Amino acid sequence: MASQDLQLVLHAHLNHASVAANPQELTKHLQAFTRDWKKEPSLDQFDAALGVLQEAKRSPNNLEMVALWWIGYVQDIVLSETIDTFSVDLKDALLKAVEPLAELVRNPSATVVKRAVQTCASIYPVVFQICCQESAGLANLWGEYALRIKQVVLGHLGSPNEGILLAICKYMQTVVQIQSHSQRNSMAHDSETLSLNKIPSTHPFLNPTVLQHESDALLRELLSVIQRPMISSTVVTAIINQTSALQRARPQFIPAILGTWTSFLKPSPPPHFTPLQIKFIDKAIRIQLLSISKMQLQPPQLQIVTETLSIYGVKYSGNPLSRSQQQQLLHPDDDSRRSSKRGRSSNNQDSEDLELKRMKQEPESRSTNTPPMSAPSGPPTLPGPPGAPPPPNIPPGFGQNVLSQINITQLPVHHVVDIIFETLAANHIPHLFHSFL
């Protein structure tokens, strides 16, 4: 319970918010409440906060702002480590929240719907944990969230809004994970320890078999989302990441999930995806495959993982992938670029050597066909006094025969220099030749 002084402050924030004259003032008081409430989380102000939400319905301009604040407040409550999960106060608060949550999930604002669904996903594990107690009096709480709220949320599964659709898929992942059995090779975390294993065999209303059947059906529904016509790459990538987390928590789902992944891209991806979108989806699958390969897999799971990795050219035997195998899986373009570069380098080297050999032979053949120069007539000309050298006498069309068919930009620098030397020497221009040395 919060201290008396803090309770007074929190109630004052809510009172001021309910009579705020404008949205700016309303936002200020709601933010102040959230800030101070987190200092000592409690349920003392729950009814007053619910009253602010009810009051906001009279002012449509403020309803979305207050609704988002209240949804966040409820989520803070269920995620708080200070509030006792098994307290009567929390159970009562969750029952009071059912009707407002159901209304907000049906709200015309896509932002409100998305946030409400996200909060329902956070509430579901808490409700399951509470209801695992052997008490028939908890059946009402279970019915409100496992039946009523679940039905309202899944009713939006056909929504064209990507944000809402992804929130619902996350909600489905949560339900599937909780309503399934945990196995010995599960990679469990605190949030993943809730499973059908927690239900006592003598529980008055929770039937593990029925819940497992519902979980299997929801998983099939979740995987079918990425097979919808014209589904966006954003949704596909998000579901791949969500179902990857589900595989780590529930390895028994690996065959079904990996089979859906591979059938999505193989033999050919949906035609409406761009090459870049396909590349991102393929990269997401590769990353998740690497994560799954680090698990201790049972024979059926090992078989499907081995087959899937073989599609990507990686040989897998159940042992952790080597560094080179990880590189091959995550960065296949690097290997193809390296092999392509090696092929181009070898081809370029061969063509360069042939070109240089042809260039060397061309001046020799041209010099053998050149008639001998006639001896000069008259007395020899004596050299004059030293001065500036005469301009070089470059023959017309110099270098065109030799260089016309060579792409200089594709040759290494040392070959370019060799070509220059050979050309200058072959055309008998020694003063330019020696100026390069």
Mean pLDDT, the chain, integer:
82
133 located within any domain: yes
Residue 65 belongs to a domain: yes
The string over 111-144, giving b where at least 16 C-beta atoms fall within 10 Å of a residue's C-beta and e elsewhere, is ebbbbbbbbbbbbbbbbbebbbeeeeebeebbeb
Range scoring the smallest mean pLDDT among 259-263, 325-329, 349-353, 374-378:
374-378
By residue range, what is the domain housing residue 162? Answer: 4-246
Whether residue 264 sits in one domain with residue 152: no
The verdict on residue 177 lying in a domain is: yes
The total domain count for the chain is 3
For the beta carbon of residue 110, count every other beta carbon within 10 angstroms.
Answer: 15
pLDDT at residue 84, rounded to an integer? 96
- Is 261 among the domain residues? yes
The reply to whether 366 falls in a domain is no
pLDDT at 208 over 60: yes
Would the pLDDT of 436 be above 60?
no
In a domain, 340, yes or no: yes
pLDDT of residue 318: 80
- pLDDT at 406 (0 to 100): 55
Q: Which pLDDT does position 45 carry in this prediction?
A: 95
Of 346, 369, 392, which residue constitutes the final position of a domain? 346
- What is the pLDDT at residue 424? 53
Give 80: exposed, middle or buried? Use CB within 10 Å, 0-12, 13-18, 19+: middle
* Helix residue ranges per DSSP H, 155-203: 162-178
Same domain, yes or no, for 261 and 165? Answer: no
Distance of CA 194 to the CA centre of its chain: 26
| Separation CA 401–CA 103 (nearest Å) | 84
Residue of 368 and 175 predicted with greater confidence: 175
324 and 251, same structural domain? Answer: yes
| Residues 238 and 270 grouped into a single domain | no
Domain boundary pick from 218, 246, 274: 246
| pLDDT tens readout for residues 100-118 | 999 999 999 999 999 999 9
Residue 383 within any structural domain of the chain: no
What pLDDT does 189 receive?
Answer: 54
Q: Based on the fold, state whether residues 144 and 255 are members of the same structural domain.
A: no
* Pair 171, 313 in one domain: no
Regarding whether 95 and 29 lie in a shared domain, the answer is yes
- Gyration radius from the chain CA atoms: 38
CATH number of 33's domain: 1.25.10.10
Q: Do 45 and 147 share a domain, yes or no?
A: yes
Q: Domain boundary at 214, 246, 278, which?
A: 246
Task: Specify if 362 maps to a domain.
Answer: no
- Average pLDDT in the 91-97 region? 98
Question: Please, which residues have CB within 8 angstroms of residue 71's CB and are 6 or more apart in sequence?
Answer: 101, 104, 112, 115, 116, 119
320-354: pLDDT as tens digits: 888 888 888 888 766 544 444 445 555 555 555 56
* Phi-psi domain of 6 (left: phi exceeds 0; alpha: psi -120 through 50; beta: other): alpha
Q: Are residues 188 and 91 part of one domain?
A: yes
| CA 127 – CA 145 distance, rounded (Å) | 7
pLDDT at 274 (0 to 100) = 92
- Which percentage of the chain shows pLDDT scores above 70? 73
pLDDT at res. 187: 59
Residue 373 has φ and ψ, to the nearest 5°, of -75, 140
Summarised one tens digit per residue, pLDDT across range 27-39 is 999 999 999 999 9
Residues 199 and 294 placed together within one structural domain of the fold: no
Whether 241 and 253 share a structural domain: no
Q: Which residue has the higher pLDDT, 388 or 265?
A: 265
**Whole-structure pTM value:** 0.74
The answer on 11 and 24 residing in a single domain is: yes
